[in-house]
Chain A
Amino acid sequence: DGGITQSPKYLFRKEGQNVTLSCEQNLNHDAMYWYRQDPGQGLRLIYYSQIVNDFQKGDIAEGYSVSREKKESFPLTVTSAQKNPTAFYLCASTSGGTGGYADTQYFGPGTRLTVL
């Protein structure tokens, strides 16, 4: 049963604490992505990785960090430097390195992070 899993579904943290969101895929996809969704803002790209041990900043990378030590895993750390961390976080993957033609992007179910 292939797909993308994100855990947990809901996460609560105190202000000032770092928190790591999990994203795992068993689709054998090379590229993985992290997005943030806020009301009325659509999907904004945080970080992406085209291949293991390599990643690039997206449009809103400040206050976030990632790692890509394994093909299947792309965890996202929300640091205390992120000014407004409460949001819905989505992980996605594509088979190719481009996210483009014939490479449909598949999404996980998301993690709702609330910082108190």
Chain B
Amino acid sequence: DQQVKQNSPSLSVQEGRISILNCDYTNSMFDYFLWYKKYPAEGPTFLISISSIKDKNEDGRFTVFLNKSAKHLSLHIVPSQPGDSAVYFCAASATNSGNTPLVFGKGTRLSVIA
């Protein structure tokens, strides 16, 4: 049973437009969420995170929004650039439930078209 779901396997966006990647979770104990970016044949790199005490966190072109009541978070990239083309993974953690590893979604492949 997937606790973190990324329902869109792929997304195509034109350069300069906004990219919106979505993530849903089922475990109400999750209180910390992260986004990772991954290029082929490389390890994922940390992009941005958000704690459940916030509903928005911004870092340059990247903004993560959290809707706790809907158990939904999204990553906005604006403006999108060709170098943003990669697989994006959403991850979640229940920090108050003992020592539990991050739970990852299956990823969304973003293609930014020039």
Interface residues of A (CB under 8 A from B): 4, 6, 33, 35, 40-43, 45, 48, 50, 58, 88, 90, 92, 97-102, 104-110, 112
- Which residues of chain A come closer than 8 Å to B70, judged between CB atoms? none
How many of chain B's residues touch chain A, expressed as a range?
20 to 34
Is B31's CB within 8 Å of the partner chain A? yes
Q: Contact partner of B100 among A88, A99, A104, A108, CB < 8 A?
A: A99
- How many Å from the CB of B90 to the closest CB on chain A? 9
- How many Å from the CB of B25 to the closest CB on chain A? 14
B43 touches A97 (CB 8 A): no
B106 touches A101 (CB 8 A): no
Is B12's CB within 8 Å of the partner chain A? no
A42 touches B89 (CB 8 A): yes
- Which residues of chain B come closer than 8 Å to A112, judged between CB atoms? 41
Q: Which 9 pairs across A and B sit closest by C-beta, in order of nearness?
A: A107-B43, A100-B95, A42-B106, A101-B95, A100-B93, A43-B104, A101-B32, A99-B101, A104-B46
B89 touches A43 (CB 8 A): yes
Q: List 9 A-B contacts (CB under 8 A).
A: A40-B9, A41-B106, A98-B93, A98-B95, A100-B93, A104-B49, A107-B44, A109-B42, A110-B43
- Chain B residue with minimal CB distance to A9? B41
- Chain B residue with minimal CB distance to A45? B101
- Which residues of chain A come closer than 8 Å to B66, judged between CB atoms? none
- With A98-B93, A101-B31, A110-B41 known as contacts, the answer to whether A42 contacts B104 (CB < 8 A) is yes
- How many Å from the CB of B100 to the closest CB on chain A? 7
Known: A92-B43, A100-B93. 4 other contacts (CB 8 A): A40-B106, A42-B89, A50-B99, A104-B46
